[in-house]
Amino acid sequence: MSAPTYDVLIIGSGASGGMTAYNLTQKGLKCLMLDAGPPTDFDHDRVARHVYDLPYRGFGKPGRFPHVTQADEFNANAWADEKENPYTYDPGDPYYWVRVRRQGGKTLLWGRASWRLSDYEFKAKDHDGFGENWPISYSDLAPYYDQCEPLFHVSGRKEGLPQLPDGVFIEDTSTDSLSLTRFIQAAKKRGIPTTKPRRATGALASSVNLLLPAALATGNLTIVPNAVVRRLTVSKTNLINGADYIDRHSKRELHATARVVVVGASCLESTRILLNSGVANSSGVLGHYLFDQFYVKNTVQAIVPEALDGKGATNLMGGSGYIPRCVNLDTKKKDYIRGFSVDFGSGVTPNAKYFPLYGEALQKAIASHRGTGFDATTMGSVLPRFENFVSIDKTTTDAWGIPVLHIKARYTDNEFNMARDAMNMLDELCHDAGFEVLEKHDQMVPPGESIHELGTCRMGDNPKTSVLNKWNQSHDIKNLFVVDGSSFVVGGSQNPTLTILALAMRASDHMVLEMKAGNL
């Protein structure tokens, strides 16, 4: 039996794979999408439950997710099973690799924060001399951001900040609560900008409702769930001619054929596929320059004293905001380069752990502090370093017999110093705003936990120091594209999904032109 040959094989159905399918199918290309997980059908996948009806009262099955702190008992089954999908790391350098293996990928569960990168990231080396620049500039990607934001119904407020370019937003005209206004004014006095959150809106903001239905409607997309890709296959003419994949249930091995292959399986899974295939690595940097964004969760936890005992004005508490990168722009910090961003919010009730009490006294304190909280979380830029990398661990395989990744990542003084500076800045701002700080800290979560892993298959103009060219196309194999976060050169402190969407759209536009020109 002969299998059909498609124009394009797309591996992965999340932000990057979904956007690639969305774009290519509407331009008339016949696409096959292989996804490692089951299909997503909310009518069958999810039910309303009381927390007390869950087997572990919301705690979750002990030990099931040692690295997925985001997993709770309600959503545990949505995350990739760590026993089926293992990976390894050196015991002294734990890495928290958080994955979703089902149709839609991490767009089913993402935080929806949608920020553009700027030339402070695209041309970071020009600014501070470290590492490499992207092979593209902000102006190259801006037209694609312009198209992605309306697709994902991104709301926000325009500010005219060079480090955080404005976009095509649903305008956020909401007023700030009095407590947020105090914090924003305190920041302003120190020259620190703030803005409204920029988020994808709607009941669901995922490739499964915003990208894949439109692609399927063209009649040009075939989606195959439960297809775990083992490796890409190479023709005698040194082109990728398809992929070997395994049925998730039966473990039967099959092969799919296409003229062009797009890998968008998520940052580290894509690199794993390439490494297991032994392709696209003439530079020797495939797998290297792994980075992410470090998180310091609840860097400060404060309260607004006037809100105690429910006595505050009705508009005293509530709302949220964002501090974009505000350091190392026009001036330079002594002990670190690049910068951090901050999510802040007002109106939560501080966790019981912050009160050194128990029993009735604790319950009274919680009641007194209900809705009085102000908290801020830091997200910091991590430097891309050659020595942070992934490689194939031939001693360990996943449930389908495919060798897994060994991940080596460690933060350095640049990140530690940045985190300390962020903590001190937020502490000062809270005091300036008249808040009472209950606790402050600069302890980062382990590398990977932010779920913003980036790099390992980076773009660049030089084939000797990069894997992909400026079109997300392999330097080595012209019909191979990698369109997810693995292609990042520098990440900044902004959440990366919007940039991944824009890159995938831009790469697939280029693909169409090249295919029409007969170059692919």
User: Under a CB-based contact definition with an 8 Å cutoff, are residues 106 and 93 in contact?
Assistant: no
Residue 296: closest CA among 495, 452, 445, 421: 445
Q: Is 51 in the site for other proteins (CB under 8 A)?
A: yes
Q: Is 46 in the site for other proteins (CB under 8 A)?
A: yes
What amino acid occupies position 161?
A: L
Contact residue for other proteins among 74, 130, 400, 416 (CB under 8 A):
74
Which residues inside 245-274 make contact with other proteins, applying CB under 8 A? 249
| Piece of 4-12, 42-50, 310-318, 394-402 that binds other proteins (CB under 8 A) | 42-50
Residue 96: closest CA among 456, 485, 448: 448
Phi, psi of 354 (to 5 degrees): -75, -10
Least gap, CB of 104 to other proteins (angstroms): 12
Q: Is 427 in the site for other proteins (CB under 8 A)?
A: no
Least gap, CB of 363 to other proteins (angstroms): 6
Q: Is 362 in the site for other proteins (CB under 8 A)?
A: yes
Q: Is 192 in the site for other proteins (CB under 8 A)?
A: no
Q: Is 360 in the site for other proteins (CB under 8 A)?
A: yes
Q: Is 111 in the site for other proteins (CB under 8 A)?
A: no
Least gap, CB of 320 to other proteins (angstroms): 22
- From first CA to last CA, the distance across the chain in angstroms is 26
Query: What string of H, E and C letters represents the secondary structure of 409-475?
Result: CCCCHHHHHHHHHHHHHHHHHHHHCCCEEEEECCCCCCCCCCCCCECCCCECCCCCCCCECCCCEEC
Residue 37: closest CA among 119, 104, 103, 107: 103
Rg (C-alpha) for the chain, rounded Å, is 23
Buried b (16+ CB within 10 A) or exposed e, 330-343: eeeeeebbbbbbbb
Q: Is 203 in the site for other proteins (CB under 8 A)?
A: no
C-alpha neighbours within 13 Å on the C-beta side of residue 91: 0
Contact residue for other proteins among 47, 83, 250, 517 (CB under 8 A):
47
Contact residue for other proteins among 14, 17, 37, 165 (CB under 8 A):
37
Of the two residues 349 and 462, which places its CB atom closer to other proteins in the complex? Answer: 349
Contact residue for other proteins among 1, 44, 173, 219 (CB under 8 A):
44
Least gap, CB of 507 to other proteins (angstroms): 30
Contact residue for other proteins among 130, 354, 400, 416 (CB under 8 A):
354
Least gap, CB of 445 to other proteins (angstroms): 11
105, 108, 112, 117 alpha-carbon torsion, rounded to 10°: 10
Kindly determine how many residues on this chain lie close enough to bind other proteins according to the rule CB under 8 A.
Answer: 43
Of the two residues 63 and 219, which places its CB atom closer to other proteins in the complex? Answer: 63
Contacts of 301 (CB under 8 A, 6+ apart): 350, 351, 354, 373, 374, 375, 437, 438, 439, 440
Interface mask toward other proteins for 471-490; x: CB under 8 A:
--------------------
Phi, psi of 99 (to 5 degrees): -130, 155
Q: Is 62 in the site for other proteins (CB under 8 A)?
A: yes
Residues lying near other proteins in the complex (CB under 8 A): 37-38, 44-54, 56-59, 61-63, 73-78, 102, 249, 352-360, 362-363, 438-439, 441, 443
